[in-house]
Amino acid sequence: MPSPRYWREKANRFHLEAARCQGCGGVTFPARTICPACRGTEFETLYLSRKGKVVTSTVVHVGPNEFQMEAPYAMAVVETPEGGRLMVQVVDCEPSDVLPGLEVSLEFRLIRREGHGGILCYGHKGVPVG
C-alpha cells in the first residue's frame, strides 16, 4: 500500500473514527460525508469502543500472498456497541472458535507489510474476550 494512502486512512485504522448521522442516527465506519441510509450530511464524530460481537465469520485457508503465512486465520464482521460494523481478523484463539456471537476486544496489531522493504500497515484486530 502506498504510504500516502495508508496515512490518509489513519483516523479509522488508528482511532476507529466513525460518524453518527444526525438525521437517522446511523453509524458509519469509516466516517463518510453522506449518510448511506438517509443521505444526511450532518454528522457527529465518534470513536468506536474497542469491543464488539461477531456478526458473521469465516476461516480463510487460502489467503492472498501477503497473508499466506498467517493462514488459516479467522475473519469476522464485528458490531460494536455503537452499532458500527467493521471487518477484522480475529486472532489469539483457535480460528474455528470464531463464530457469530463471540465477544471480542479490538487490539492494535500489524495488519500487513509491503514486502521486505515497504511500509508496515497497522490497524485493529479482534481478540476473544476472557
Partner 1 sequence: MAGIVGYGAYIPRNRIKSEEIARQWGKDPQAISRGLLIQEKSVPGLDEDTITISVAAGRGAVARAGIDPALIGALYIGSESHPYAVKPSGTIVSEVLGVTPEVHVADFEFACKAGTEAMFVALGLVESGRVEYAMGIGADTSQGAPNDALEFSASAGGAAYIFGKERLLVEVLDTYSYTTDTPDFWRREGEFYPRHGGRFTGEPAYFKHVLSATRAILDRSGYKASDFRHAIFHMPNGKFPLSAGKQLGFTKEQMAVGWVVPLMGNSYSGSSPTGLAAVLDIADPDDLILITSFGSGAASDSFVLRATDLLPQRVERAATVKSMLEGPRHYLTYGEYAKYREKIILND
Partner 2 sequence: MREVAIVGAGMTRFGEIWESSLRDLFVEAAAGALSSAGADHVDHILVGNMSGGQFVGQEHLGPLMADHLGMAGVAAARVESACASGGMALNMGFMAVASGFVDTVLVAGVEKMTDGADVTNVLASAADQETEVYHGITFPGLYAMIARAHMAAHGTTEEDLAWVAVKNHKHGAMNPKAQFRSEVTVEQVLQSSMVAEPLRLLHCSPVSDGAAAVLLCPLDQARNYTDRPVKLIGSGVATDAMALADRKDPAFLAAVEKSSERAYKMAGVTPKDIQVAEVHDCFAIAEICCLEASGLVEKGQGAKAAASGETSLGGRIPVNTSGGLKSKGHPVGATGVAQAIEVFEQLRGESGERQVEGARIGLTQNMGGSGASSVVHIYQGV
| Residue of 87, 115, 116, 117 interacting with partner 2 (CB under 8 A) | 87
Alpha helices in 9-81 (DSSP H): 10-15
Instruction: Measure the CA–CA gap between 130 and 124, rounded to whole angstroms.
Output: 18
Residues in contact with partner 1 by the rule CB under 8 A: 10, 14-15, 69-70, 89, 91-92, 107-111, 115-116, 120, 122, 125
Those residues with Cβ within 8 angstroms of residue 86's Cβ, 6 or more apart along the chain or in another chain:
16, 29, 48, 52, 77, 78, 80, 124
- Sites for partner 2 among residues 28-67 (CB under 8 A): 28-30, 36, 55-67
- Residue 71: CB minimum distance to Zn ion, A: 38
Cβ 21 to partner 2, closest distance in Å? 13
Q: Residue 56 to residues 81, 88, 123, 128: CA-CA distances in angstroms?
A: 16, 11, 20, 14
If contact means CB under 5 to 8 A according to the sort of partner, which of partner 1, Zn ion, partner 2, none does residue 30 touch? partner 2
Rank residues 61 and 116 by Cβ distance to partner 2 and give the closer one. 61
Q: Which of 8, 104, 92 is CA-nearest to residue 17?
A: 8
User: How remote is the C-alpha of 72 from its chain's centroid?
Assistant: 18
Binding site for partner 2 (CB under 8 A): 1, 9, 12, 28-30, 36, 55-67, 70, 72-73, 75-77, 85-89, 96, 99-100, 111-112, 121, 123, 125
